[in-house]
Structure 1
Amino acid sequence: MSEKKQAGMLTFAKDLPNICSLLGLFCTVLAIYFAIKGNFSGAIIAMLWAALFDWYDGIIARKIKGRTKEQGVFGGQLDSMIDIVSFGVLPAILLLSYGDYNIWFIPGAFAIIAACAIRLSYFNIYGLIDSKTYMGLSVDNNALILAFVFLFENLFQHATFSILIYIVIIILAVLNLSSIPTPKFTGKWIYVLIAYVLVMTSFFGYQLWSVDAALLIK
């Protein structure tokens, strides 16, 4: 009996759910670039779209008929690896950049990346508590919550808001690793997420436009 031929790596990249995952990764790379440059409105917009693509890859995968077991396993592993970057590494870079790369912000950056890595490794072994319930806060919520917090940035001094972001990052890391049951948002919740991303994109996009307009006037 001949052994089954092992598929090449790039054959999985043509799978539509994985293309969606990689588009999310591209948004994350953009967000990291903007965060490093200090363009936090741009970073938040890109981070939100990364979260939206993260939701859609699973929806697309469930709708496609005839996917092989290997495609499903590969897609799950790819999604997990991208989640670490999108919802662990990106928030860490956002924190470090907003904190002007102060050494005291490194523990917070490490905490969110480590929490994300531990949570996703645990999830890959045990999965959901049941079909509708996660253990702890799902990591994609990190992006949605951080975006909401940035709505209030202009109400604080830069130094004060950097401490607030630090506190929020630590709280998110704790919630990611907690044993608190949290609902899995599926079905019609995708429309709520789309609306949230579009509204937030409009808000932060207007902020970007306002800054550019002010620079032109000067």
Structure 2
Amino acid sequence: MTTDTENAHAVQPAIISYVKDLPNLCSLAGLACTVLALYFSIIGIYYAAMIGMIWAVAFDWADGLVARKMKGRTGNDRMFGGQLDLVIDIVSYGVTPAILILSYGHFDPLLLPIAFFMLAASAIRLSYFSTFGLSDTSKYTGLALDNNSILLVFIFLLEGIIPNTIFAGILYASALGLAALNVSQIKTPKLSGNPLHVVLLALYTLGITAIYAYKLL
């Protein structure tokens, strides 16, 4: 005679089975872009890192769009996808910008507090969202983390145009400001749920990719 616990374990799907879920594949594609962004940040090829960062956002938005369009997904599918998305978000929008800041500052220990503040804000922001969700049907409390990458890749366009010391100050101040907004009580719209915003992000992603690819030549 089997117990309830044994029956529960018997019906658990294999861990790897969730990889075949299309929204999760989009999430993992975004994680691959994040790995590239981390790699290029560490070795100092920042224009390539910017391309990885913005494509990570694009795939992050795509997984939610695909998930909403798909039929037949179970509650477990949605729960697993949501947890996977949160874990990847902390890497894409917390670890990656922090490494970018440290690398651009030649890993000066004085930048460690900024990196910590960025990571702490990201972790707190995601934990808060995981607990309370949206403040209503369409707004977040605090600036959503994907906006950090969207804005940082835009700000980085100034690199090479203005003096390096001034740009570095702008970059560090922007990173701190975004982290503060992440844990603030401001209400911001859920941009990724709007089809028009998805189209605009796609155009922005292609434009940013073209600009930084040109800069790499």
Q: TM-score range by the shorter chain?
A: over 0.9
Distance 1:160 1:9 in 2: 48
Checking the alignment, whether the CA contact within 8 Å between 1:99 and 1:159 is kept in structure 2 is no
Q: Deviation of residue 199 (structure 1)? A: 0.6
Using the size of structure 1 for normalisation, the TM-score is 0.93
Distance 2:41 2:134 in 1: 32
Partner of 1:197: 205
Candidates 15, 36, 39, aligned match of 1:33: 39
Matches within 5 A, 1:37-186: 37-185=43-191, 186=194
Distance 1:26 1:13 in 2: 14
Give, as a single letter, the amino acid of the residue that structure 1 aligns with 2:214: Y
RMSD of the alignment, in Å? 1.1
Residues 122-152 of structure 1 deviation map (CA, whole Å, 9 limit, x = unaligned): 1011000111111110000000000110111
Using the size of structure 2 for normalisation, the TM-score is 0.94
Q: Deviation of residue 165 (structure 1)? A: 1.1
Distance 2:166 2:108 in 1: 14
Give, as a single letter, the amino acid of the residue that structure 1 aligns with 2:163: Q
User: Which consecutive residues of structure 1, in runs of 5 or more, have no partner in the other structure?
Assistant: 210-218
User: Which consecutive residues of structure 2, in runs of 5 or more, have no partner in the other structure?
Assistant: none
Residues 45-76 of structure 1 deviation map (CA, whole Å, 9 limit, x = unaligned): 01000000000000111111010111100000
Distance 2:134 2:125 in 1: 12
Distance 2:133 2:195 in 1: 19
Partner of 1:188: 196
Instruction: Give the number of aligned pairs.
Output: 209
Secondary structure at the aligned position of 1:188 is classed as helix
Q: Deviation of residue 28 (structure 1)? A: 0.1
Farther-moved stretch of structure 1 (158-167 vs 39-48): 158-167
Distance 1:22 1:41 in 2: 22
Checking the alignment, whether the CA contact within 8 Å between 1:17 and 1:58 is kept in structure 2 is yes
Candidates 8, 18, 28, aligned match of 2:14: 8
Runs of 4+ in 1 over 4 A off after TM superposition: none
Residues 93-118 of structure 1 deviation map (CA, whole Å, 9 limit, x = unaligned): 00000001011111111111111111
Q: Deviation of residue 159 (structure 1)? A: 2.8
Does 2:216 match 1:208? yes
